[in-house]
A = this chain, B = another copy of it.
C-alpha cells in the first residue's frame, strides 16, 4: 500500500493527526521536497516529532526508478509493505504524484491520500477574501534562459487579466525560489510589453503573502508601486490579485492586510 501524506503549509506541525498516525504505522517513510518548498521544516525536526526515520527521494527516484526492484524502488516496496510518501502542502497536488499513483494502481497496489492544509484555501482566509470568487490560478516562473535576458512566460499575466475581466480573484503561485518583488517585476515587464493596465491601474490592489501557515505570516496589500519595494522576508511567497471586492473583503484588506485606507 502507498499512502500519500501531505505535510501542510510550513513546518513539521502542519501534518494532521491522521497523517502522523499513518507515518508511525508505516513500514517505510519517504519524503520528497522538489515539488514544493521546504519552508520551516527540516528532515531532522520531522524525524524527531514523528519518531520515524525519513528517506528523502530525488526527482529521479519517483519518475524513473520508482519501479526498479534492484534500487529498492518505492513502487516495488509498496507491493508488499505499507509505504508512506510525505510531501509539502496537500497530498497529490503535483502531477508527479498523480502519475505515481496511476502507476501504483496499474500494479494493483492500494493507494490512499491523507490531506493537509494547502495554500489554495489558506490564501482566502489570510486575506479575508471569499474563496469561491477565485478564478483559475497560475505559476510565475523564472525567465527561461533563452537568448538575452530570457523568455518570460505570459501565462500568469493572461490568467489574471482574464480573471479580472470576470471580476474574479487570482492566486499566483511563485517558483520555489522566487520573491513577491521578483514576481511583480516579471509581471510588470509583460504588462509593459502588452501596453496593459491591469496591474498599473491605480485601482488594482495586489496582495503579497509570505510564510503562510507559520507563526508570523506576512500579508500585505497595496498598489503595484508600493508593493514592489516591500520587504516580505523569507520565502515561500505567493501573490493574490483580487478582482471585484465585496465591502467585507475591502474592509478585510485594510484591517488584515494593512492596505493603506483611502
Contacts and interface: CB of A to CB of B under 8 A. Distances in A.
Given A98-B252, A135-B136, A213-B115, A8 B16 contact: yes
Contact of A17 (B14, B173, B251): B14
Given A8-B115, A95-B248, A102 B255 contact: yes
Interface stretch (A61-69, A70-78, A120-128): A120-128
Interface string A86-130: 000111110101110110011000000101111011101110101
A53 interface: no
Contacts of A20: 17
A16 B166 CA distance: 35
Contacts of A12: 17
Interface residues of A, number: 61
Nearest to A126: B113
B136 A133 contact: yes
A137 interface: yes
A162 B136 CA distance: 12
Interface of A: 4, 6, 8-9, 11-18, 20-21, 49, 89-93, 95, 97-99, 101-102, 105-106, 113, 115-118, 120-122, 124-126, 128, 130-139, 162, 166, 168, 173, 212-213, 248, 251-252, 255-256
